[in-house]
Amino acid sequence: MADALIEARDVGRTYLQGGSPVAAVRSATFRLQEGDRVALIGRSGSGKTTLLHLMAGLDRPSSGAIRWPALGGADTLLPAKIALVFQVPSLLDPLTVAENVALPLILSGAGGDVRQAVLHALATFALEELADKLPEELSGGQVQRVAMARAIVGRPSLILADEPTGQLDRATGRALLDALLGHLAGSATALVLATHDPAVAERMAATWQLRDGVLATGSPP
């Protein structure tokens, strides 16, 4: 069996809020492999964002252990190996759409034709005509599609998407998901997508549920 992208055992994350500990994630044990397509579901405040940040190496667990056997250490994951699509707008305002999408390639020192890679990623989400626009000139749906184009441009091993359709109308959200899944079809890139939408979740191959910070994957780790 190939090395897992992520292995986690009894991972927990506790924060201090008003001087009192609050457990955002209490118990998460899972194994994520190449090509996995996972919907991460749970109510607001159930710990989905915290778990995605732990998976990306942006945060460290308060308890338990998380490893990236096939990817390396936590400090080497972003942006080349893992791409994270945030729930809130995350484009840099002074940069054009094309410059925003190019950032992972530039930061990771990727070789090749950066402009061509950027245009290909934009074309995946029908954004080619927006390449020279600034974020302030885009609609909310366009901003989210640009963020997704930025996530795929470097061909990461894993994409973590935090409610990518949550702020979109149903038709726009469906089109974004169609484009993303079409792009990933047959590839080894794994996808974990946090969502409240059952229609989005049912398009993933597996569903993991967070309830009060406790993760249920539906199968033994």
pLDDT of the chain, 221 residues: tens digit per residue: 689 999 999 999 999 988 899 999 999 999 999 999 999 999 988 999 999 999 999 999 999 999 999 999 999 999 999 999 999 889 999 999 999 999 999 999 887 899 999 999 999 999 999 999 999 999 999 999 999 999 999 999 999 999 999 889 999 999 999 999 999 999 999 999 999 899 999 999 999 999 989 999 974 33
Which pLDDT value is given to residue 167? 86
Residue 14, pLDDT score: 97
* Any domain includes 221: no
Backbone angles phi, psi at 194, to 5 degrees: -80, 135
Q: Which domain holds residue 46?
A: 34-59+74-216
* Ramachandran category for residue 171: left, alpha or beta (phi over 0 → left; psi -120 to 50 → alpha): alpha
Residue 150 pLDDT: 98
Distance CA 117, CA 120 (A): 5
User: Is 28 inside any structural domain?
Assistant: no
Query: Is residue 20 a part of any domain in this protein?
Result: no
Cα three-residue angle 13-15-18, rounded to 5 degrees:
160
Among candidates 113, 154, 115, which has minimal Cα distance to 132?
Answer: 115
Plot region of 184 (φ>0 → left; ψ -120 to 50 → alpha; else → beta): alpha
**Is 9 domain-assigned?**
no
Using CA atoms, how far residue 186 sits from 44, 148, 183, 190, in Å, is: 32, 18, 9, 11
18 occurs within a structural domain = no
Would 25 be classed as within a structural domain?
A: no
Looking at residue 32, its pLDDT comes to 98
What's the pLDDT at 45?
A: 87
Which CATH number belongs to the domain containing residue 171 in this structure?
A: 3.40.50.300
DSSP string, the chain: -PPPSEEEEEEEEEEEETTEEEEEEEEEEEEE-TT-EEEEE--TTSSHHHHHHHHTTSS--SEEEEE-TTT--GGG-TTTTEEEE-SS----TTS-HHHHHHHHHHHHT--S-HHHHHHHHHHHTT-GGGTT--GGGS-HHHHHHHHHHHHHTT--SEEEEESTTTTS-HHHHHHHHHHHHHHHTT-S-EEEEEES-HHHHTTSSEEEEEETTEEE-SS--
pTM of the model: 0.95
Question: Is residue 192 a contact partner of residue 38, using CB atoms and an 8 Å limit?
Answer: yes
The domain total for the chain is 1
Does 199 reside within a domain? yes
